[in-house]
Structure 1
Amino acid sequence: MPGSPARPNFLVIVADDLGFSDLGAFGGEIATPNLDALALEGLRLTDFHVAPTCSPTRSMLLTGTDHHIAGIGSMAEAIAPEQIGQPGYEGYLNERVVALPELLREAGYQTLMAGKWHLGLTPELAPHARGFERSFSLLPGAANHYGFEPPYDESTPGILKSTPALYIEDDQFVEQLPEGFYSSDAFGDRLIQYLKERDQARPFFAYLPFSAPHWPLQAPAEVVAKYRGHYDAGPEALRQERLQRLKQLGLVAEDVQAHPVLALTQEWERLTPQQRAISARTMEVYAAMVERMDWNIGRVVDYLRRQGQLDNTFVIFLSDNGAEGALLEAFPKFGPNLQSFLDQHYDNSLDNIGNANSYVWYGPRWAQAATAPSRLFKAFTTQGGIRVPALLRYPELRRQQGQIDHSFATVMDITPTILDLAGVRHPGSRWRGREVAPLRGKSWLGWLSGETGAPHDEHHVTGWELFGMRAVRKGPWKAVYIPAPLGPESWQLYDLSKDPGEIHDLAKHEPAKLAALIEHWHEYAEETGVVLGRSPFQPD
């Protein structure tokens, strides 16, 4: 229509296992100038929530509904026997939902993706089959960031069986990765290529979901070198430094109490000098991964700025879950031969950590340096697992620019917000002749434009479940259930307005409040089709 404003572009960026305080604008010491600039020009969200792990979050992001409805009721890698064949537990993005890129493409948007998919492993389940015109994707949940693959056989732990063919471009597997491949660089390269080749007459939706800083921790040596010695004081020192900066920035309250660290690993002071050196090196590499991801984000943003498109682009960045604190060697799902295989085929010596032929993770103490003041980390329905850093920049909504907002919001809100900004209506319960789930998230447009005070009012209820871990929230009140052996196997109750660290269990003091929340959780479970199964954290 002549004289009508241009429809906005969209750039959705996802980090994989990034901790709450890893970015400079969120209290971290890691060099993230590009994300910091977006955050300081835009809006930082301190109470933004996702699912406890990656693929459930990604399904919620792209559909605006719960992951149990969208096909990722449990991660495909950890579906319990009781869940196999049940609706919502297909292990891929199912046909009960319509994906955001499908709707935007239908409405005239050019839809582009470069990054981790984790919502289906075959071409008919790949991004191009769910609305992306151009896509370059890592299909599974993790892979060597350099594409290095040692020889393996049927005894190889499943998490290590990743090959270059697990990347796909459009509908064709990528059989050979190029020389010098590094995942974050490749995703940045490919998205910039797609943006350059796009139809300039159409608005775009660009999705940039990194596989960094997910294990294995690997990064270019010259970036790792910048952090040499930076973490020699250990994770508790880092935790206290970041907590202080979070307070100084106004991201947490001055009087906040941080949940005590929970870890099976030895405290820093009890480690040998060699053990400390190796642990610090893993954190150095992790920091380098985050910096390199930020550098690639800067390349994309700079391209849009040079093209005069940045200010008409709604940019949102988030992590898909809390920092990864798992001890993979102690995880029953990965089997007893994981460490022996790594010892045989990888070089995890101090000087080699971070290179293509190393395979390490950093453990629960470094993770809780990043999730503090929250409790625990990825995979848990405690705040450390589901509250993540998020920021957005869109100058058209100027009231929110340069601000910090403590309102509750969820990843399910992103799809309805983008549809609202694009002027696209969700089809409701039917699309292209099949039944689809309606939205469970809520558009932020009224909140961002100043028409409403918050994305959700005090009566809004949100539920969570994964691996038998459960939670439900209404206003500031949250009930949490963590099964044994990782928790008390009973419902706990917290007032997050006074206790964001989930330290003071009020279950015995507020039984009526707890009972009401548990009833809300059962309603959530019935609405979304939750099927409780054996936790993969339990020993066989």
Structure 2
Amino acid sequence: MLGGRRMIKNSLLFASIMVLVACTETSEVAIETASDVTSEAAQSTTEVSAPQALESKQPNILFILVDDMGFGDIGYNGSEIATPNLDQMALDGMKLDRNYVYPVCSPTRAALLSGQNPLHMGITGPMDDHASLPSGLKLMPEYFKGLGYQTHMIGKWHLGLTETSAWPINKSFDSHYGFLGGWIDFYTHVFAGGLDWQRDGVSVREEGHATELMTNEAISIIEQRNEQPFLMWLSYNAPHSPLQHPPSYSELNNYPEITDRSVFAEMVTHVDSDIGRVMDSLKEQGILEDTIVIFSSDNGGALGLGASNGDLRGQKRSSLEGGMRVPGLISWAGTIESGSVLTQPIAVHDWLPTLLEASGGDAEVVIDAYGQSMWPAIASGAIIERDTIVMGATHNLGVFEWPLKLVAVEDAESGEQSYNLYNVVDDPTEQQDLAATNPEVVARLIAEIEAMPEPDVSRLEPEFNNSPRYYPSDVPTYDARHIESKEPWAEAAIRDTD
């Protein structure tokens, strides 16, 4: 069980926790048109007729995940960065105004694929190279295979590297093209001195920027599909460091000088352009109206590496809004209302049951489900009475009782804790601490922390640091612990290794 203070004292089990509890009294709405919505919570509901999730034809599903893009890094949230394709997707589909993920990538990915709480698996931060998802854990591709889908994974995995059993090709994906670790050089496809680029479990050396190679693969699968519906997880590593973009994009955003922000911005615009290429492919193949497309970042932006979370406090690794509230979109042409906005909170655990229901499956079949289907809210504006949702990352705790949020931060050296309480609807930038005037709320939410289950670390496969390193590399000296001894990149490229 993930018990609050006890957990904080265990270095493996530190977690920031966010609990979202929908209050029936809240005026938070389900859907509004884009012209009426700001980044604040909206106050009225646009009625939308509920589309049938599956009358005759199962939809394709394309889940696009980008890496380290902050709330303030997308045009429709007021960014100076050019993101015309994502902005158009927001106009054509639904903006997810309260889209919550984990503050770091591996927990987000585990929650997305399993519908479960990764903290219960002991996944509280970037996954160790030796670790993997628990053996026997049923994942999204296996659920969708049961509905007759082809399943494809493209891009960044970061859910197990040194054991072949951990790889996506052995986790019910029919195909995988991309890399296994937390980051790579975009051009050499090298991580820590070893080649990390695979096709279906076999290392391959290919030329080109990683973003473009992933996009080309997605388009190829779309063009060569058969009559089966497909589930595709397109997991870009952009705009995560190292900060590298194609030279042709150097002038696109018109920054006066080269800085981390300017290069990061070009990486965002580059991945936006490639997302546009994928959307164009769906149109050209005549299947746009047969495809649900979801877009999200995996965590908040890293401010020291060029990202922006807009006016939100905090960043990657933080349980403040800037660490977990990220850009999100969903579109299904002809089914989801154009220009609509979901203002109810949606968390990454919700996607598996939501997409199962949207595809005509049973949202209730998800084993040990932590998320719940948000399809009724997306499809027809239904107000969803939220279950408690727990989310986390190292050294921070947070508890939501919507719209209140308790943030508990532990000092890593002293172990001392501090508590702050915010109303994230009235005060989205978390400036006004309400803890002193609401001691009963603070006590109640601390009790929620204490009641959380301990992570079942024994379910990790294999155990941390207890297996030989195996890596499918042409460079036999691979060792992630000695990045500084390898020199395949410029010094500036080695600034963030998770």
Q: Which category describes the TM-score, using the shorter chain as reference length?
A: 0.7 to 0.9
SS at the partner of 2:111?
helix
1:55 CA drift (Å): 1.1
Whether 1:388 and 2:326 are equivalent positions in the alignment is yes
Measure how far apart 1:373 and its partner are: 1.9
For residue 133 of structure 1, what is the amino acid of its counterpart?
A: D
Q: Which has the higher contact order (CA 8 A, sep 6+)?
A: 2
Superposed CA offset, 1:56-94 (max 9, x none): 10111111111123452332249xxxxxxxxxxx83222
Aligned pairs for 1:440-455 (under 5 A) are 440-450=370-380, 452-453=382-383, 455=384
Secondary structure in structure 2 of the residue aligned to 1:465: coil
CA–CA separation in structure 2 for the residues paired with 1:518 and 1:59? 26
Structure 1 contact 134–194 (Cα < 8 Å) conserved = no
Question: 2:155 is matched with which residue?
Answer: 115
Structure 2 counterpart of 1:394, one-letter code = W
Asked if 1:203 corresponds to 2:229, the answer is: yes
Equivalent-residue separation in structure 1 for 2:335 and 2:402 (angstroms): 26
SS of the residue corresponding to residue 142 of structure 1 reads coil
Q: Tell whether the 8 Å contact from 2:353 to 2:364 is kept in structure 1 after alignment.
A: no
Name the counterpart of 1:253: none
**Aligned mates of 1:403, 1:116 — CA distance in 2:** 30
Cα deviation, residue 308, structure 1: 1.0
Q: Distance in 2 between matches of 1:135 and 1:25?
A: 32
- 2:124, 2:426 → 1: CA distance? 32
In structure 2, what is the Cα distance between the partners aligned to 1:64 and 1:94? 14
1:300 pairs with 275, 278, 297, which one?
Answer: 278
Shift of 1:463: 2.2
Whole-angstrom distance in 2 between the partners of 1:520 and 1:96: 30
Matches within 5 A, 1:118-157: 118-121=158-161, 122-147=163-188
Identify, as 1 or 2, the structure richer in helix: 1
Q: In structure 2, how many angstroms separate the alpha carbons of the residues matched to 1:517 and 1:75?
A: 27
Q: Does 1:480 align with 2:407?
A: yes
Residue matched to 2:426 = 498
* Count of residue pairs the alignment pairs up: 403
Instruction: Report if aligned partners of 2:295, 2:328 keep a CA contact under 8 Å in 1.
Output: yes
One-letter code aligned to 2:373: S
Deviation string for 1:100-151 (max 9, x for gaps)?
A: 01111132101112111111113321111111111102100111111166xx
CA contact (8 A) 1:409 1:456 kept: no
Relative to structure 1, the CA distance from residue 530 to residue 522 in structure 2 (aligned partners, 3 Å threshold; closer, same or farther) is farther
CA contact (8 A) 1:42 1:391 kept: yes
**Whole-angstrom CA distance in 1 between matches of 2:215 and 2:313:** 33
Q: Deviations over 1:485-539 (max 9, x none)?
A: 699731211111221111122222111101111111222344x5599xxxxxxxx
Unaligned runs of 5+ in 2: 1-53, 459-498
How do residues 403-482 of structure 1 correspond to structure 2 at under 5 angstroms? 403-425=340-362, 428=365, 437-450=367-380, 452-453=382-383, 455-457=384-386, 460-482=387-409
Q: Kindly indicate whether the alpha-carbon contact (under 8 Å) linking 1:123 and 1:129 is maintained by their aligned counterparts in 2.
A: yes
Question: For residues 169-215 of structure 1, what are the alpha-carbon distances to aligned partners after superposition, in whole Å with 9 as ceiling and x for unaligned?
Answer: 112222x2x23x1110010011111222222x111111111000000
Deviation per residue, 1:237-282 (Å, 9 max, x gap): xxxxxxxxxxxxxxxxxxxxxxxxxxxxxxxxxxxxxxxx5xx522
Q: Secondary structure at the match of 2:426?
A: coil
Letter in 2 for 1:301: M
Alignment of 1:377 onto 2:377: no
- Structure 1 unpaired stretches of 5+: 79-89, 150-159, 233-276, 327-360, 430-436, 532-540
Runs of 4+ in 1 over 4 A off after TM superposition: 426-429, 485-488, 528-531
Contact 2:124–2:394 (Cα < 8 Å) also in 1: no
1:463·1:521 contact (CA, 8 Å) conserved in 2? no
Superposition CA RMSD, Å: 2.4
Change (3 A) 1:210 1:198: same
Q: What is the aligned-residue identity percentage?
A: 32
Question: Partner amino acid for 1:316?
Answer: I
User: Which secondary structure does the structure 2 equivalent of 1:292 belong to?
Assistant: helix
Q: Give SS of 2:97's match.
A: strand
